[in-house]
Structure formats: C-alpha cells, structure tokens
Amino acid sequence: MGAGVIIAAAGSGERLGLNQNKILLPLDGVPILVRSIKAFTVYPWVKEIIVVVREEDYRMIQGMLEQWQIKAQLAIGGPRRQDSVAAGIAALRPDLKWVFIHDAARPLVEPGIIAEAYSQVQEHQAVGVAVPVKDTIKLVDEERFVVGTPPRPRLWAIQTPQVFSSGLIKKAYKRAQRENWEATDDCSLVELLGVKVKLILGSYGNIKITTAEDLDIADAIIGKRSGVDTMDMEKFLESRSVRVGIGCDVHRLVANRPLILGGVTLDYHLGLEGHSDADAAVHALMDALLGAAGLGDIGRHFPDTDPRYKGISSIVFLEQVTEKLNQLGCAVGNADLVIVAQQPRLAGYTAQMKRNLAKAMKIPESRINIKATTTEGLGFCGRGEGIAAWATVTVLC
C-alpha cells in the first residue's frame, strides 16, 4: 500500500544550452533534482522514490543523494522521457497501490498540490496537475501557417506530478510499448487506453526548468516564497511551530430556522438561532483556528452587530479566516470536531460537511475529522434545547 514516486531525471537539458544535465544545477544553493525529490519525502504514505538517471550522471547523483541524506533508488533511463519513466516503473516495488510520476525539472511544486493529487487519485485512478493556459494557442502547419485556434477556455497546460493507480499506469506503459504509442506525458498514455484522466488545479509557480530564463524565474519565485519554501519540508516544519487551538460554540434550537451545520442544511423541524446562519460547527472551528494563530476569536473579526453578516453562510467566514492565517504565513494542519446534538442523527451528513470544510480551509478532506455525539438526554443538548460544537486544530506558523 502507499505510493511510489518516479522522478524523471534522465534528460540532457539540451534547450538550456549548458554542457551538463540541467537538473544538477543549483537554485539558491540546492540542486534542482534535490528540490524535486524533497517535495515528496515528507509524506508518510510515500513508501519508495525511484530517481531515473542517465548512466553518465549516475555516480554524481548517487553522491548528491548521500550528501542531502535522501533515501531513494536509482534506475537508468532511456533515450526518450517515456523510456525513462518505463524504467522507473519497472524498478518499483510491486506492492504499492499508487504511482506518482514527476519531472525532476519541476523543483517548485507546492506540497499542497501533491497532497491534493494523492487525495483525488483515490477516487479517480488517474490525476494530472494542470493550469488553464493564459495565451491563445495556435495550431500551425510545417510552414508555420495557422491552421486553427482551439478555444482557450478548454485548454489546460499539463504539468507534473501525475498520479495513477499502479495497475493502470503499468497497463498503459505495457500497451504503449507493444503498440509504439508515443507521448510526452504519462496521462496521454492512459488517455490512449480510453481511461478518463482527472485534472486538478496546479499552480503557475510549478514551472518546468527548460530554457535559461526559467532559472531566473525560479530564483524569483523562491525569493518570493521565502520561508514557505518547498525545497526542504523537514526544515520548513522544523523552522515552524505547530500551534494548537480550541473552539466551542452553542446555539439554541428554535422553530422557523433552517438547521445548518458544517455548511450542510439538515432535515429537521428546528434550526439554530443566531445572527449569521448560526452554524455552530463552523463557528467552533473558526475559533479554534483563530486561537491557534493567536488572533483572538470570531466575535472580534465578525461582530454579530454588523448588518453585513446577517444570515450569511459561515463557510464564507471560514474562508476568510483561512485567508487571514495564510496571509500570516500560517497553514492549517488538521481539524477535529465534535458536534453534540441529541437529534437529528448526523451520520448521513458528515461526509458532505467534511467536503465543505476542506474546500474552505484548502486542505485535503483526510485532515478533517467530524464526530457526533448525544449526551444521553442530559443537559440542554440532551433535552434538545440547543446544539453545541467543539473543535481542535493544529496550525503551522
């Protein structure tokens, strides 16, 4: 179980015009290849990393991995990227369920994207990271006369990582070899099999170092990200403190109000009374987040005397709290919630609540946990007079 990662590093970097493989070059003191690998080493579910290299770079890269204390296997690549990835796949441990394929030449991939790709592949089997193209694209003939203009809103530029169920990607590569399919990315081979590929939104910062100006752009991006650099996640985490927050909220159950919890409208004859939508679960969560970041509480940020907030969805507040945290350079770690309600039964709603909260906090659902409990008829919750919610969170600052 878990995932294997194939890092394609066996190119020659011809378009960069130096007489060495571009992925060996340093960016702010750290080799491009090291940055690309380190983006994956923090995840406990990454069980194996295969770096596919050229024969002539083998020893150099072996030394580099030792120097940077990276545990990875090396495999020898082939003439085309596709051949190199095939060699990587052949070298993978057979028991892994998922396979990430990533270009060594994309050292700036953000950790959130990798986590999101892993979460999505559980559902879709084939996931590519991509961004909408910004330029209008022209299709040309050999003499560079325009033969067509595909509609831009439907064009996405594919990046890496791309991640697949291991059975699927092995099948695609086997067929490609047998039928001489050629492709410059891995999703293409899965598409040729007739299997649907899901794209998730990557970032424009996840550039592929290809030509000389990309080095300057990468330097600028690294400078800008200062402190939130993906190059060394362990170091990143070390340099940050993990902060814990707690939140609690209670609202009274009344007639003629919808019952909204975790951004979901529940089927119940009473609803929670309050100025906004009175979503006690989201309020508890927001208080926990603000508390962890040392930012006070929701009353301070969203006073219930403000007419702008009347009847508003608390999910909007949660998005704003997340934004505030992100602006401070903080990232949400995980969240655990308890909702205390004698009635209605919440079990059928918690999956949707998780989806809502994950989206608002921009973290994978896997980092959110929601529990529901009754109080055996005791107290105001037990008598059905109100609903209470508790939340604890971690925040990396």
Q: Which does 84 bind (CB under 5 to 8 A by kind): Mg ion, ligand CTP, none?
A: ligand CTP
Nearer to ligand CTP (CB atom), residue 81 or residue 251 = 81
Nearest one of 76, 116, 102 to 185, comparing CA atoms: 102
The site for ligand CTP (CB under 6 A) is made up of 8-15, 23, 52, 77-81, 84, 103-105, 208, 210
Nearer to ligand CTP (CB atom), residue 81 or residue 367 = 81
* Distance of closest approach, residue 20 Cβ to ligand CTP, in angstroms: 11
* Distance of closest approach, residue 308 Cβ to Mg ion, in angstroms: 53
Nearer to ligand CTP (CB atom), residue 190 or residue 372 = 190
Nearer to Mg ion (CB atom), residue 186 or residue 232 = 186
SS (H, E, C) the chain: CCEEEEEECCCCCHHHCCCCCHHHCEECCEEHHHHHHHHHHCCCCEEEEEEEECHHHHHHHHHHHHHCCCCCEEEECCCCHHHHHHHHHHHCCCCCCEEEEEECCCCCCCHHHHHHHHHHHHHHCEEEEEEECCCCCCEECCCCCEEECCCHHHCEEEEEEEEEEHHHHHHHHHHHHHHCCCCCCHHHHHHHCCCCCEEEECCCCCCCCCCHHHHHHHHHHHHHHCCCCHHHHHHHHHCCCEEEEEEEEEEEEECCCCEEECCEEECCCCEECCCCCCCHHHHHHHHHHHHHCCCCCHHHHCCCCCHHHCCCCHHHHHHHHHHHHHHCCCEEEEEEEEEECCCCCCHHHHHHHHHHHHHHHCCCHHHEEEEEECCCCCHHHHCCCEEEEEEEEEEEC
Look at the chain and count its residues. 397
Q: Which does 79 bind (CB under 5 to 8 A by kind): Mg ion, ligand CTP, none?
A: ligand CTP
Rounded-to-integer distance, Cα 95 and Cα 166, Å: 9
User: 361: buried, middle or exposed (CB in 10 Å: 19+, 13-18, 0-12)?
Assistant: buried
Q: Which does 383 bind (CB under 5 to 8 A by kind): ligand CTP, Mg ion, none?
A: none
* Distance of closest approach, residue 179 Cβ to ligand CTP, in angstroms: 20
Which residue has the CB atom at the shortest distance from Mg ion? 11
* Distance of closest approach, residue 209 Cβ to Mg ion, in angstroms: 11
Q: Which does 208 bind (CB under 5 to 8 A by kind): Mg ion, ligand CTP, none?
A: ligand CTP
* Distance of closest approach, residue 103 Cβ to ligand CTP, in angstroms: 4
Q: Which does 77 bind (CB under 5 to 8 A by kind): Mg ion, ligand CTP, none?
A: ligand CTP
Q: At which residue do the structure tokens 């529901």 appear?
A: 372
Rounded-to-integer distance, Cα 131 and Cα 204, Å: 7
Q: Which does 39 bind (CB under 5 to 8 A by kind): Mg ion, ligand CTP, none?
A: none
Nearer to ligand CTP (CB atom), residue 53 or residue 341 = 53
Q: Which does 354 bind (CB under 5 to 8 A by kind): Mg ion, ligand CTP, none?
A: none
* Distance of closest approach, residue 11 Cβ to Mg ion, in angstroms: 5
Nearer to ligand CTP (CB atom), residue 55 or residue 179 = 55
Nearer to ligand CTP (CB atom), residue 22 or residue 367 = 22
* Distance of closest approach, residue 184 Cβ to Mg ion, in angstroms: 8
The site for Mg ion (CB under 5 A) is made up of 11
Q: Which does 105 bind (CB under 5 to 8 A by kind): Mg ion, ligand CTP, none?
A: ligand CTP
Rounded-to-integer distance, Cα 157 and Cα 149, Å: 15
Nearer to ligand CTP (CB atom), residue 230 or residue 314 = 230
* Distance of closest approach, residue 9 Cβ to ligand CTP, in angstroms: 5
Nearer to ligand CTP (CB atom), residue 184 or residue 305 = 184
* Distance of closest approach, residue 261 Cβ to ligand CTP, in angstroms: 47
Which residue has the CB atom at the shortest distance from ligand CTP? 11
